[in-house]
Amino acid sequence: MNLFEMSQIPMKAAIKAMKLDPSAAAIIENPERTLEVSIPVKMDDGTVKVFIGYRSQHSTVMGPAKGGVRYHPNVCLDEVKTLAMWMTTKCAIAGLPYGGGKGGIIVDPAKLSRGELERLTRGWIDKVAPIIGEKKDIPAPDMNTNAQIMGWMMDEYSKITGQFEPGFITGKAICVGGSLGRTAATGRGVMTAAMEALKVKKINPKKATCAVQGFGNVGSWTAKLIHDQGVTIVAISDVYGAIYSDKGIDPYELAKHVAKTGSVTKFKGTKAISNEELLEAKVDLLCPCAMEGQITGANAAKLNAKVICEGANGPTTPDADAILDKKGIFVVPDILANGGGVTVSYFEWVQNLYRYFWTEEEVIDKQVALMRKAFKEVYDASKEYKVDMRVGAYISAIGRINEAMKIRGMYDPK
């Protein structure tokens, strides 16, 4: 099952549970606009290579489209369209005044020189410029794109419009309008959602144990901030292997070890375990923060966590969801749990629009308040409609978008 097919299952379950008007469902199920572009790039050897890029705007019902741009050899139209739809739901759940979008370029950036990468990036902006802008569609970093690439994009777009354009893009360096608090934002959101879930399950964080899969941006910040709440982190993994200690792993010390050695493996005081053993560990909380498709129909029955809080996008397949539900495992879905990144991107945009910047403390306070509110709304929807948290999250999102579609006259409700 590809990402698009996977994403349709909870969405259709939500549409059915809330008895959504078929006209509204038809609008929501399709992206508003998708653009495919070809980008000719002058390579360092004097030849021209043409790259294919995309921008999909799933929805602008609640506000400008919002979502990252990924550079990857396997990017395809279906993936970009699905991720754009996830962004619509993620923004609606968090209550942000945005729709959803996503972009991509089919490229392995590691094979380009810095100059080629910059020319490719500027070329993508030149081609998608007519449909983006601070009130139309606001890109951001995603897989293999970063603050430098956002800087080139901002510069190119500013040249096209003839004015300083910090608000058309987020994930920028602080010196050109980036926000404090963005680096840890997704992990902080995962931690906040996880703490709310522990409350629901009446588990005391100070007595709880946790396993974190992945120790990149999301996983490392999730582990650090959950550790700060008094939870004992007993297992952590990365692509090279997993480590375990029932005495607890200090993620701050582990980050220093990773900076030195490049991997979490062989960290002092821990034993090596397999990735499967990490997922199956007897813990209160499991945070998959690495990549999609990790909890599947093949391993879900073996999981022992009481709560799963999804930092990665799409770590659980729909067949696994059904098994976890039967086992009584409380799953906080990705579109709720990892919405912290886009929430602080929204704060960056707000600060750019009024050219006034907040302290990191202000950013964190506002982020945590929004995440807690979103969690409560999703939890309440899941109780009201007697569905799991994933379907509850779609109900919460679609409910908001539907109200906006009605009031905008996009269909006539029966």
> Which residues are part of the catalytic machinery?
102
CB of 181 to ligand NAD, least distance (A): 12
Query: How many residues of this chain interact with ligand NAD, rule: CB under 6 A?
Result: 20
The residue from 289, 303, 324, 401 that contacts ligand NAD (CB under 6 A) is 289
The residue from 67, 151, 167, 214 that contacts ligand NAD (CB under 6 A) is 214
The residue from 7, 192, 313, 396 that contacts ligand NAD (CB under 6 A) is 313
- The DSSP result for 57-90, as a single string, is EEE-SSSSEEEEEEEETT--HHHHHHHHHHHHHH
The answer to the question of residue 312 lying near ligand NAD (CB under 6 A) is: yes
Query: 124 Cβ partners below 8 Å, 6+ apart?
Result: 37, 39, 53, 69, 103, 105, 153
Bridge partners for 102 per DSSP: 56
The residue from 35, 255, 291, 404 that contacts ligand NAD (CB under 6 A) is 291
The residue from 57, 60, 186, 367 that contacts ligand NAD (CB under 6 A) is 186
Distance CA 399, CA 38 (A): 37
Cα distances (Å, whole numbers) of residue 226 to 242, 276, 311, 336, 345: 18, 22, 12, 17, 22
Residue (119 or 224) nearer to ligand NAD, CB? 224
The answer to the question of residue 299 lying near ligand NAD (CB under 6 A) is: no
The answer to the question of residue 183 lying near ligand NAD (CB under 6 A) is: no
Residue 287: name the closest of 308, 317, 304 by CA: 308
236 close to 203: Cβ distance less than 8 angstroms:
no
374 close to 336: Cβ distance less than 8 angstroms:
yes
The answer to the question of residue 343 lying near ligand NAD (CB under 6 A) is: no
The answer to the question of residue 341 lying near ligand NAD (CB under 6 A) is: yes
35 close to 115: Cβ distance less than 8 angstroms:
no
Stretch that binds ligand NAD, among 1-9, 101-109, 118-126, 311-319 (CB under 6 A): 311-319
The residue from 121, 179, 270, 338 that contacts ligand NAD (CB under 6 A) is 338
- List residues binding ligand NAD (CB under 6 A): 186, 213-219, 237-239, 275, 289-291, 311-313, 338, 341
